[in-house]
Amino acid sequence: MAKSQQDHYYSPLPQHQQHDQNQNLEQQSEQPQYYIVLPYYRRNRFSRNLKSNCLCYFSLLVCFLLLALFFLWPSDPKLHIVRIQLNHVRPHLSPSPSLDISMDIVIKVRNRDFFSFNYDSLVVSIGYRGRKLGFVNSNNGVLKARASSYVNATLVLDGIQVIHDVFYLIEDLAKGEIPFDTVTEVNGTLRLFFFDIPIKGKVSCEVNVNTDNQTIIRQDCYPEVRGN
């Protein structure tokens, strides 16, 4: 049987239920309503900026510490042989092979640090064919920061026996030239705040002496690094 046009697919609410629903809506509209307004918080961007600033400050701090360490960390003094003056060298073959040597040496000691340097000793030694013949020790002193000082040392050796190298000595005398090697070494301490740091400098020279006119023919000096 066909449905009439007045039929509907839903049935209307009863009048008493519709009246109760309208009354509830009116009561809800009469009650005050509260709202909580929160600010917009860009957490990700703030955290990113904070990490970037921390990284930047840390990098600057590391650079500052490295720069301070570079300038304040002590370095060994620099030695330079300014002049070697030969006073005399006299070889003797009897009664036993020996040498008499006298020479003046002027050493320039340069303090490259920003603190004063107290050196306990400055030792100049001389050798022949790899064998040490003797040495001279100078007095202690103080070298100011970023300053240089000249130290004079006179080396006098009389009757130094060279029995083990007598054949080399005879050969050198025949050529009229004797090779010597000198080693100049300075030892001391550098005061860095509350610490005393031991430092030293060393320079070696090869000196060839003419036995006829008592002059230095050739002089070759080179500094030695610590640990040698």
Tens digit of pLDDT for each residue in 34-71? Answer: 556 555 555 555 566 767 778 888 888 888 777 766 66
C-alpha–C-alpha distance, residues 39 and 61, integer Å:
36
C-alpha–C-alpha distance, residues 46 and 40, integer Å:
12
Label residue 1 by pLDDT band (50, 70, 90).
very low
C-alpha–C-alpha distance, residues 132 and 165, integer Å:
12
Helix, strand or coil, per DSSP, at residue 49: helix
Which residues are paired to 152 by β-bridges?
A: 106
Cα separations in angstroms, 199 against 4, 120, 137, 188, 202: 117, 11, 18, 6, 10
pLDDT computed for residue 21 by the predictor: 58
Asked whether residue 9 carries a pLDDT value surpassing 80, the answer given is no
The alpha-carbon radius of gyration of the chain (Å, integer) is 46
Q: Please tell me the chain's helix, strand, coil percentages from 3-state DSSP, rounded to the nearest 5.
A: 25, 45, 30
CATH number among 2.70.70.10, 3.40.50.2000, 2.60.40.10, 3.40.190.10, domain 78-223 = 2.60.40.10
pTM (2 decimals)? 0.65
Tell me the pLDDT tens digit for each residue of 75-103.
888 888 888 888 988 888 888 888 899 99
Helix, strand or coil, per DSSP, at residue 167: helix
Enumerate residues 6+ apart whose C-beta is below 8 A from 81: 105, 106, 107, 108, 182, 184, 203, 205, 219, 221
Tell me the pLDDT tens digit for each residue of 168-211.
888 998 899 999 999 999 988 887 777 788 888 999 999 999 98
